[in-house]
Structure 1
Amino acid sequence: MELPPGPREDPCAWDDDSDPEPEPDPDAQAEAYVSRVLSPPQFGLAPLRAPPLSAPAAFSGAPEPRTTSKGPSVEVPGLLSLPPELLLEICAYLDARLVLHVLPRVCRALRDLVRDHVTWRLRAQRRVRAPYPVVEEEDFDWPAACIELEQHLSRWAEDGRWAEYFCLADGHFASIDSVLLLQGGTLCLSGSRDRNVNLWDLRQLGVEPSRVLVKALGAQKNSTHKGWVWSLAALDHRVCSGSWDSTVKLWDMAADGQQFGEIKSGPALLKSRRLHSSAVLALLADDRHIISGSEDHTLVVFDRRANSVLQRLQVGPPQGLEGPGLHVAQPELLYPSSLPQLDSYLLCMSYQEPQLWAGDNQGLLHVFANREGCFQLVRTFDVGHRSQITGIKHSLGALYTTSTDKTIRVHVPTDPPRTICTRSHHNVLNGICAEGNLVVAASGGLSLEVWRLQA
């Protein structure tokens, strides 16, 4: 009976005088290894199985081959035999998120290499090539910072040519002074001098333009407040709006933006503290501190637990360092209130412990460090704004500023900050918010300026 066609035994296969198999090429082996372990997992595939033994081998009584003898007995160099420096060089060409979340699953050696924070510190410094971060801290999250840095640099590469731009001009009929992103950047709130708080659905950008503006919050017919809406803040799904009508209104975004409370100045006020001699223009709070910047040229740190003023700092660049460029303040210099007042006062702040970044009315950025409960001015920078800095957003790997000079500037938060993109506008910009892949600026020209970045 004729056998079906198939592979035939090579009579030379058992010849002891045959040429030895060529050793694998290390470069090809490394390339195949990286391609295999770093490719996306394919789910639902059946596991690979060894081919069945041929009939003669199965019934000849010959001993089964040992499972431990695979290929030549000579030890072949592999990817993991490379020096750590070369492994890091290979990893530098891979996405930081992939390196952090995938490589540790391959083997213990790669896991130990990836989990070493020195690895990430070197990677971050290689990317920015400048002192980073501005405020040194012992438990700095280098992996998270590196991921955000690389994402930020990629999104704004080539002067931000890949960022989608939208102008939302139909919604307010007066200057917009505050903006707030919610739910990872899917929703946006804007507060205006037309007394309204508008809700926007940014998921509809470029899809259904007529559905981007959802509504104005509140049950009143003409406006949300009875005065200009000056500030917005959120905690989870709860939002508060502050107005010149001396009220703070509370909104539940989980209930379609329904109002659930109102705070008024008056006899019902629980507590009042007069911490400044002039208007408070910038305010931040966490579970420990209330931080306020005022037109009286001071920054006050209030300790909520001790119910007392922790610090009162005079705001302004060190004397003798006037002019454009980098201004360096010694960490121990706190500008006591006994010093004569300077021309600078804070208009906006962004706080991610232990770094407090603030912009002033002279176009300068000030960086304070919270060191064991004591805020210290460590740096003052000129980032190129020609007038007041009205909005600032700082995070581990990104920095945004807006100004009355009609520009938004995108920076890398190094020492000094490196500006990687500048966008000019036809009117003053009054604030900025960034979350997820959305950046939104409030315009005095009655519009919201929106940039949607690469996800």
Structure 2
Amino acid sequence: MDDENASCSYDSEDDAQLSLPDLPVEIFLHICSFLEASTLVHGLSLVCKQFYLILKDDSLWKARINHIWPDASYPLLRPARPDKLFWKLSCVAIEKQTALWKDSVVDKLIIASAQYSTVDALLLMHNGTICIAGARDRTLLYWKLPSHENPPSSENGNTVCTDSAHNGWIWDLTAIDNTIYSCSWDQSVKSWMLINTGLVKLKTYEMNTASGALLCVSSCPEQALFATGSYSRTIFVFDSRSGHKPIRQYRPHTGAVIKLTMNSEYILSASEDKTVSVWDQRAGRTMKSITISGEAFPMCMSMQRDCVCVGDSTAKLHVLNPKNDFELVKSYSTKHTKGITGVHLAHGCLITSSKDGTVRISSPTDPPKLIATFLSGFGEIASVSIIYVYRKMSVLLKYLKT
């Protein structure tokens, strides 16, 4: 009997092992340093309260980001409002985007002979599965991008081309839900319903005869509004739920309006007069006019809640602070050799395209650090259209044919 008890006691001591919750915090965090941030946030931190309390500390995520970019400060501008998830979710996005782009392999999708002239307007929809392209040959192209669920059936087998969509060059595109808005040099904006088999025309929004060519269009889906800017320096704002006429129009510039971006509070317009104008939608007035540079004019913009990025014609990137009266707070050299035609700022990366034919993927830090560079191979890049998902096929370029 004593021998039997001794045997049982020995076996239980031999089987006893330390589990992860029994480890000192320092050892636990050392193990975590070998795991991806997404595994920690979406997996390990949900296992038990102990893991959650350890991994909720912002200093942990700040240290991980600083390890990736030790000589830069993240983000470009500090968040204006506290967010308990900001640092951990930013770390997840940064690690995914850094790993995604550092292998320097990009999927290039090319449509052969679908549009025979320069493509100036491009729009990605439905998580990068649908691409709409507008060209100087007056056509709109609906392109269902190949994927595992939608393999390419034949050359151009997944495309539908709408001929004579406009009577002039199609210059820009935007969308509210499944309705696409195209603006053109024919002084009109047209709306199109996106369906499974292509595009169906809905309305034509005509400006007054003195409006000139329409060079840009942007939308605010939350308010069902869209706006278009013209060569004649006028900005027209439309309510997509009402008729064909603008609900307001204003003229904040002395030169052509070449780019717009908007949200529920503001409309930002960039002009050849070298300024960016801020229109306060609630007050119904121009809030501020910002001279970006005395030597260059702004060519593209990206507006987030806490930061606005502006690319100019001398390849410099400028940062405005929307929480401090849109003050111009930082300017950077991007290493592009020609003007910046497209900019996109997200938690995990900063993407810029240029007339020098390159796309640069950089860190969204102060200062930006280069992650990867891609050469188009098709001439100058007019701009980029980006959907922030974790596959490179969702970053498509608009090329100016040489």
Q: Structure 2 length as normaliser, TM-score?
A: 0.82
Q: Distance in 1 between matches of 2:362 and 2:129?
A: 24
The 5-angstrom pairing of residues 222-371 of structure 1 reads 222-254=163-195, 256-266=198-208, 268-316=245-293, 342-371=294-323
Choose 1 or 2 for highest CA Rg: 1
Contact 2:112–2:155 (8 Å) recurs in 1: no
CA change 1:429–1:17 in 2 (3 A) is: closer
Name the residue aligned to 1:440.
396
Name the residue aligned to 2:4.
14
DSSP-derived class of the 2:28 partner: helix
Once the two structures are overlaid, the 10-residue window that deviates more, 249-258 or 306-315, is 249-258
Contact 2:152–2:158 (8 Å) recurs in 1: no
Specify the code of the residue in structure 1 equivalent to 2:348.
Answer: G
Q: Structure 1 length as normaliser, TM-score?
A: 0.73
Contact 2:170–2:184 (8 Å) recurs in 1: yes
% same residue: 28
CA change 1:22–1:314 in 2 (3 A) is: same
Q: From 134, 155, 160, give the equivalent of 1:210.
A: 155
Q: Distance in 2 between matches of 1:362 and 1:174?
A: 26
Contact 1:201–1:211 (8 Å) recurs in 2: no
Q: Residue 241 of structure 1: CA displacement?
A: 0.7
Unaligned runs of 5+ in 1: 1-10, 25-70, 317-341, 447-455
Contact 1:216–1:224 (8 Å) recurs in 2: no
- Over aligned residues, Cα RMSD in angstroms? 2.4
Contact 2:179–2:194 (8 Å) recurs in 1: yes
Specify the code of the residue in structure 1 equivalent to 2:121.
Answer: S
Q: Distance in 1 between matches of 2:26 and 2:8?
A: 40
Once the two structures are overlaid, the 10-residue window that deviates more, 204-213 or 242-251, is 204-213
Q: From 170, 186, 196, give the equivalent of 2:139.
A: 196
Which one has a larger percent strand, Structure 1 or Structure 2? 2
Contact 1:171–1:213 (8 Å) recurs in 2: no
CA change 1:207–1:426 in 2 (3 A) is: closer
CA change 1:312–1:426 in 2 (3 A) is: same
Once the two structures are overlaid, the 10-residue window that deviates more, 116-125 or 361-370, is 116-125
Name the residue aligned to 1:43.
none
Q: Distance in 1 between matches of 2:169 and 2:11?
A: 82
DSSP-derived class of the 2:401 partner: coil
Q: Residue 212 of structure 1: CA displacement?
A: 5.2
DSSP-derived class of the 2:250 partner: coil
DSSP-derived class of the 1:156 partner: helix
Contact 2:378–2:400 (8 Å) recurs in 1: no
Name the residue aligned to 1:125.
66
Corresponding residue pairs, total: 355
Unaligned runs of 5+ in 2: 210-244
Q: From 344, 367, 375, give the equivalent of 2:326.
A: 375
Q: Residue 402 of structure 1: CA displacement?
A: 1.0
Contact 1:104–1:114 (8 Å) recurs in 2: yes
